[in-house]
Structure 1
Amino acid sequence: MSDDSRQIAQLMRDAGFEVSEAAKVALFRPESIAAALVSPRGALIRATEAFARETDRRWLDREIIARAARSRTPLLTSVAPEPEAPAGGGSTGAAMFAYAPAGMAAGWPLPADFLAAAAAAPEAVVVVTVSSALAARSLDEACRSFGLSGLQSRVALATIRGGGVKPAAEALGISYHTAREALAEAMKRVGVSRLPALVHHITSFAFGLVPDEDAAEALADQWGLTPRQAAIAVLIADGLSRSMAASALRISEAVVKKELDQIYLLLDANSAAGLARRLAEANALRWITQATAGDMGFFDTSAEPVQFVRRADGSRIAVSDYGPKTGKPVLVVHSSLTSRVVGRRLLRALQGAGYRPISIDRPGFGLSDTHAGMKPGEHDPYATAAQDALLVLEKLKIGRLDVVARGGAQFVLALHRRAPELIDRAVLVNPDPHSAASSRIVGPLGAFKQAYLGNPALIRTAAGVIGRGLTYERTLRLLQASMSGSPADELAIRDPGVVRDYFHAQRMFSTGRIAGYVNEQTDFVRGSKPGPIPGTDRWRVLVAAHDTMHDPIQVLDYWREVLPDAVFSLVEDGGRLMALSQPEKVMAALDGD
């Protein structure tokens, strides 16, 4: 462990708990995972809904079950052809499975009742599959997230199932030309230039948020590919041509072709698109068997809608449009400690008052990519975030809106500078000044602020350590330590719903997506007070009297100089979590004259 890591770990211990050195985790769509609990002889004990609905017992290999019951590591394998061709025609070949003793699967991202049954039968074996054939709903949602039309989605899904354009066209009863056109437009919307990359993007996101860095290792473990074959497979699945892959690996195109023939045979794939699907499945299955803390494991898209908007360079911006479409648009801005997830109390209050909440992950947060070449301390992260927001709002055909910012005030200023006519009314809740302007050092958050000021290099280290150790229980303990002394916040975190909303808004950090936090915290440390900004007479600033992060009087003085035209309120019974736990105060400010 480095000196920086030790310092961060000590700060966490001072807050009352240990932080593990666990690796990154993956977040899965629960409906994309099918699991069964079986006896060592293969008798079915329990199955998830997806497994019971979409599979039959011919998928279970008794010989592998018997070996798995005695194994000390999960057995990753392909098992049997599918009993029936999937809807839409074509064949997806063998299905990928993981087999493990029940005790070994205790931390896998599976439903709580299933894990409880496994714990009660330690001699049993857990069998898990992530076959694309079983993820119809997840694949549909992934297509919608990327903005594909009905025809584009149908053709893309048929291509995933059938392995190519021709079988997809035949399965759908459309012409080859129509299918090609639909896929070409789908590739534009997803931001890729080749069919395998389209398949890989959609299939991967159908499983959830699964890091790609171990994809080659997954192929080697699962299918016995050589390192060179695995490297070729990853490049082809990512959309490179044979010649491009050959150039990247410094081998001849003839060698790539020869290796691909063997790869297709080993992976039971007959095309580059089929190879891309296989890679996504192998990677997802490997991450399931590595995952821990089942509470962390699920990515609930039904509660958190997501769609992607593409930048000119093909990178993506994640946005949640909660609707209804007929409501007045209001941009809900996240803090540098969270992502775009809007707390349920605030969401219900806004929708109940006739608003259409929209939330955007700023660059490097949540599911939004960073901007290429923009390093911490070397660019203005809020200016690039404002650029993203304008692109998203243009895509949504929104020319004017209100803003509610739960932190992220610097981003709102940047958006106002870029498009002063865009913002009608704005409510800034507990806006943060730059770090040197706030003298309060209270609790873990204050300790981190002080540590960052003394050594900005700690920011990246802290984000990695804390993110990897993120669970619901640790989030609760950190909140309890951080909010001590604030009556409003101490009351708020007694509500499991408030804690869970906060936890959900932080979960993406656990996957290693920390660049946005690092960029903005670096700017807090190195930044300075902006000059006065006119034209904000319809802005309201709410500052909690019991903000555990900053001295409220210092915050009021700071922002009154920056926003001389805004209306300020010191909320006597407010706390740091005011936007989450006291939405009525936000609504009163938003709807006030």
Structure 2
Amino acid sequence: MADIDPISLHDPLEEQFKAEFEDRLEAAIARPDTENTVRPFLFEKTISFAVIDSAGTIIWTDRKFDDWLRQDDIDIEIGAAVSKKREAAHALIKDRSQRPALLTYASADLAQRWFVLEPKLSTHVRTSDTIVVAAVSLSHMTDEIEYAARALGMSNLEARVSAALFAQGSIKRAAAQAGVTYHTARKALSGAMKSVGVSRQTSLMRRLSELATVSAPPRAAVENILIDVFDLTRRDAKLVHLLCEGYSRSEAAKVAGMSAAIAKDRFAHIFLRLDIASATDLPPLVMGAFASAMLLQETPALIETGRRARAPLRLIRSTDNRVIAVNDYGPETGQPVLIAHSSLSTRHAFQTVVDCLQQNGYRPFSIDRPGFGLTDDLEELPDRFATGTDDVVTVCDKFGFEKIHAITRGGAFHVLALARSAPERLDRVLVINPDLLQHDCSQRKGYLGMVRYAFDRYPDSIEKVARWIASTMSRKRIATIIRVGIGDAPADLESFADARNFDDYLRSIMPFSTGRLSGFIREQKGYVLQKEIEGLESAHNWTVLLGNSDPIHDIEEIRSYWTAKLPGARWHVFQDAGRYISLSHTEKVVALLNQSASQTE
């Protein structure tokens, strides 16, 4: 997949999107509510492409296609039908290693939406009767599954065997791949299920696949896809999903309202139809079918994940048994610093900031707030920004942090709520370009200004607009969002000319594309609907940093509002900075964090 320069990009479609953004936003507000589409993250190594003509002759394949499949795996009759009817079709096959793979055949017009996933397709799809075949095989996701397993607290052995079971489908084959005995593999899987809190291997595979793809598709959506992709009946699709949820065959039959005898016959038919030997094969197969179906959506952007850094993810259980996602960057001996994400991002921090903090003796960590990223949602509080402050305390207790520092850009209201509810936990706090509630702004410029103004006028449309924006996300689109969001601030332009910063931003914002938007929606409602937020009696340990070229707010309005909320706070204005001061002036920002709280400007 070709890299994209995020700042110097001049794409006609993106230029048109920028020019028409306000009209598109109004259209999104006016259109009827649509069903929420959950889209999974995939990885480049899980998808490959081939191009054939209407006679079934192969025109081009990528390297992965040749490695996974044989030429005769392509069905000439399906290709001819797709070419004639100008539509798409799915087929389930076994790859060279006898693992399930899903082929999606698409006519030339439908295949054009895949060009962003594989630019080389555009040079080979030249005539209207050309067919593109996309092969999806999740058995190549073992690294991601093992990563998710370790985040759940599994031992190295448990994680390795769990990932091998996901790839191989049977304990015997998983043991061979993991290089252990059958007995050792069974024992490791027993420990893995205990770590996750499930009693069946199928449930374990489902949980790991959802974590690795950042998606938990609802039952109705999965059943519809199983019917479409595998031509199952509604009843059989329901049985498949019940098995994936961890029900035994007898329990699934009872929930589905059928006798044991009928269910036995239906299960035999399902396993024969899907060409699998056990229910353990179902979660990766179902998620693969889901991903294949999503390829045909208008914006199949979730496949193009780009370079993904392996952040040190930990998944912690809250007191009410919710999952809290934490990136703990280490080292263990450093002073803990919470990097609180903005309302427009998730826990993935800029590595530039992380590196500088570590070099100065800190241990940065970041937490997905409820409804963001991989953290389970919970009921919102009257102060919407306070939702999740208890999670911070839970994480601190888990890690043994008595006190933490905090640094944030865009999450100031959340840190303020934390300071009110758990003041004994916070030492020094650094806030960069804190935001304002909508009714406290005399103006809000740029792309974000348009969105917040629309939210202010039509608060009931916040969720609808959020889902529209998320559905348009792609690597190029996010480059456009950054470009229009930072305006002409030279320092920010230079920061995002660095591909590493762009990739970090991409990593932080793309989870919204999976449909996990409840946290974002809640906080956007907070900006628009909340009339007042309580300040502090004393903020002597706070420092507020402002960029003189902030493209969104008037910095004097920021100073006036937050001076009242944070009496005694220090202030520092960077004359040559924009919105992303932590990127353009990283060392100076960390130096300010180092200063004693007793110092004044």
| 103-112 vs 29-38, which moves further | 103-112
- Rounded Cα–Cα distance in structure 2 between residues aligned with 1:591 and 1:59: 61
1:482 offset after TM fit, Å? Answer: 4.8
1:370 offset after TM fit, Å? Answer: 0.9
Q: Paired residue for 1:510?
A: 513
On the 8 A contact 2:41/2:302 being kept in 1, the answer is no
SS of corresponding position for 1:98: strand
1:12 offset after TM fit, Å? Answer: 8.8
1:225 offset after TM fit, Å? Answer: 0.8
- Rounded Cα–Cα distance in structure 2 between residues aligned with 1:432 and 1:207: 32
| 457-466 vs 495-504, which moves further | 495-504
Q: Paired residue for 1:136?
A: 142
Identify which of 404, 413, 423 aligns with 2:416. Answer: 413
On the 8 A contact 2:50/2:132 being kept in 1, the answer is yes
Q: Paired residue for 2:14?
A: none
Amino acid at match of 1:139: I
- Identify if the C-alpha distance between structure 1 residues 485 and 301 changes in structure 2 by more than 3 Å, giving closer, same or farther: closer
Q: Paired residue for 1:4?
A: none
On the 8 A contact 2:41/2:305 being kept in 1, the answer is yes
- Identify if the C-alpha distance between structure 1 residues 36 and 490 changes in structure 2 by more than 3 Å, giving closer, same or farther: closer
SS of corresponding position for 1:546: coil
Q: Paired residue for 2:282?
A: 275
Alignment of 1:34-183 (within 5 A): 34-38=48-52, 45-57=59-71, 59-79=73-93, 81-84=94-97, 92=99, 94-101=100-107, 103-108=109-114, 111-119=117-125, 124-165=130-171, 168=174, 174=181, 176=183, 178-183=184-189
- Rounded Cα–Cα distance in structure 2 between residues aligned with 1:353 and 1:438: 36
1:447 offset after TM fit, Å? Answer: 4.2
Q: Paired residue for 1:7?
A: none
1:364 offset after TM fit, Å? Answer: 0.9
Q: Paired residue for 1:532?
A: 536
1:523 offset after TM fit, Å? Answer: 2.5
Q: Percent identity?
A: 32
- Identify if the C-alpha distance between structure 1 residues 100 and 358 changes in structure 2 by more than 3 Å, giving closer, same or farther: same
Q: Paired residue for 1:431?
A: 434
1:201 offset after TM fit, Å? Answer: 2.4
1:399 offset after TM fit, Å? Answer: 4.2
| 352-361 vs 469-478, which moves further | 469-478
- Structure 1 gaps of 5+ residues are 1-10, 86-91
- Rounded Cα–Cα distance in structure 1 between residues aligned with 2:56 and 2:163: 33
- Identify if the C-alpha distance between structure 1 residues 58 and 333 changes in structure 2 by more than 3 Å, giving closer, same or farther: same
On the 8 A contact 2:43/2:305 being kept in 1, the answer is yes
- Rounded Cα–Cα distance in structure 1 between residues aligned with 2:535 and 2:360: 34
- Rounded Cα–Cα distance in structure 2 between residues aligned with 1:111 and 1:468: 16
On the 8 A contact 2:142/2:167 being kept in 1, the answer is no
On the 8 A contact 2:373/2:516 being kept in 1, the answer is yes
On the 8 A contact 2:210/2:216 being kept in 1, the answer is yes
- Structure 2 gaps of 5+ residues are 1-16, 29-33, 597-601
- Rounded Cα–Cα distance in structure 2 between residues aligned with 1:133 and 1:498: 31
Identify which of 540, 544, 557 aligns with 1:554. Answer: 557
Q: Paired residue for 1:309?
A: 316
Identify which of 224, 233, 240 aligns with 2:240. Answer: 233
On the 8 A contact 1:308/1:319 being kept in 2, the answer is yes
Identify which of 190, 206, 209 aligns with 1:203. Answer: 209
- Rounded Cα–Cα distance in structure 2 between residues aligned with 1:572 and 1:42: 63
- Rounded Cα–Cα distance in structure 2 between residues aligned with 1:380 and 1:247: 43
Provide TM-score, normalisation by structure 1. Answer: 0.83
1:515 offset after TM fit, Å? Answer: 0.8
On the 8 A contact 1:207/1:284 being kept in 2, the answer is no
1:316 offset after TM fit, Å? Answer: 2.4
Alignment of 1:180-329 (within 5 A): 180-206=186-212, 209=215, 211-212=217-218, 214-242=221-249, 244-246=251-253, 248-290=255-297, 292=299, 294=301, 297-298=304-305, 300-302=307-309, 304=311, 306-324=313-331, 327-329=334-336
Amino acid at match of 1:97: L
Amino acid at match of 2:231: G
Amino acid at match of 1:230: A
- Rounded Cα–Cα distance in structure 1 between residues aligned with 2:69 and 2:271: 25
Amino acid at match of 2:207: H
Provide TM-score, normalisation by structure 2. Answer: 0.82
- Identify if the C-alpha distance between structure 1 residues 263 and 349 changes in structure 2 by more than 3 Å, giving closer, same or farther: same
SS of corresponding position for 1:289: coil
| 506-515 vs 325-334, which moves further | 325-334
- Identify if the C-alpha distance between structure 1 residues 350 and 14 changes in structure 2 by more than 3 Å, giving closer, same or farther: same
Q: Paired residue for 2:41?
A: 27
- Identify if the C-alpha distance between structure 1 residues 208 and 526 changes in structure 2 by more than 3 Å, giving closer, same or farther: closer
On the 8 A contact 1:15/1:443 being kept in 2, the answer is no
- Rounded Cα–Cα distance in structure 1 between residues aligned with 2:535 and 2:418: 15
- Identify if the C-alpha distance between structure 1 residues 168 and 349 changes in structure 2 by more than 3 Å, giving closer, same or farther: closer
On the 8 A contact 1:109/1:288 being kept in 2, the answer is no
Deviation per CA, 1:466-485: give whole Å up to 9, x if none.
22223455445555555547
1:335 offset after TM fit, Å? Answer: 0.9
On the 8 A contact 2:141/2:167 being kept in 1, the answer is no
On the 8 A contact 2:143/2:163 being kept in 1, the answer is no
On the 8 A contact 1:362/1:516 being kept in 2, the answer is yes
- Rounded Cα–Cα distance in structure 2 between residues aligned with 1:184 and 1:539: 48
Compute the RMSD of aligned alpha carbons.
Answer: 3.6
SS of corresponding position for 1:573: coil
Q: Paired residue for 1:88?
A: none
- Identify if the C-alpha distance between structure 1 residues 294 and 468 changes in structure 2 by more than 3 Å, giving closer, same or farther: closer
Identify which of 340, 348, 356 aligns with 1:333. Answer: 340
- Rounded Cα–Cα distance in structure 2 between residues aligned with 1:73 and 1:396: 53
On the 8 A contact 1:545/1:570 being kept in 2, the answer is yes
| 353-362 vs 247-256, which moves further | 247-256
Identify which of 567, 589, 593 aligns with 1:590. Answer: 593
SS of corresponding position for 1:367: coil
SS of corresponding position for 2:271: helix
On the 8 A contact 1:334/1:408 being kept in 2, the answer is yes
- Identify if the C-alpha distance between structure 1 residues 160 and 472 changes in structure 2 by more than 3 Å, giving closer, same or farther: closer
1:232 offset after TM fit, Å? Answer: 1.6
On the 8 A contact 2:153/2:315 being kept in 1, the answer is yes
Alignment of 1:433-512 (within 5 A): 433-484=436-487, 489=492, 501-512=504-515
Deviation per CA, 1:17-37: give whole Å up to 9, x if none.
635869664432222223334
- Rounded Cα–Cα distance in structure 2 between residues aligned with 1:239 and 1:183: 15
Q: Are 1:422 and 2:425 an aligned pair?
A: yes
Deviation per CA, 1:86-120: give whole Å up to 9, x if none.
xxxxxx4x432223345532323875443344446
Q: Are 1:387 and 2:390 an aligned pair?
A: yes
SS of corresponding position for 2:101: strand
- Identify if the C-alpha distance between structure 1 residues 555 and 235 changes in structure 2 by more than 3 Å, giving closer, same or farther: same
Amino acid at match of 1:563: L
Amino acid at match of 2:181: I
| 356-365 vs 209-218, which moves further | 209-218
SS of corresponding position for 1:540: strand
- Rounded Cα–Cα distance in structure 1 between residues aligned with 2:286 and 2:303: 24
SS of corresponding position for 1:574: coil
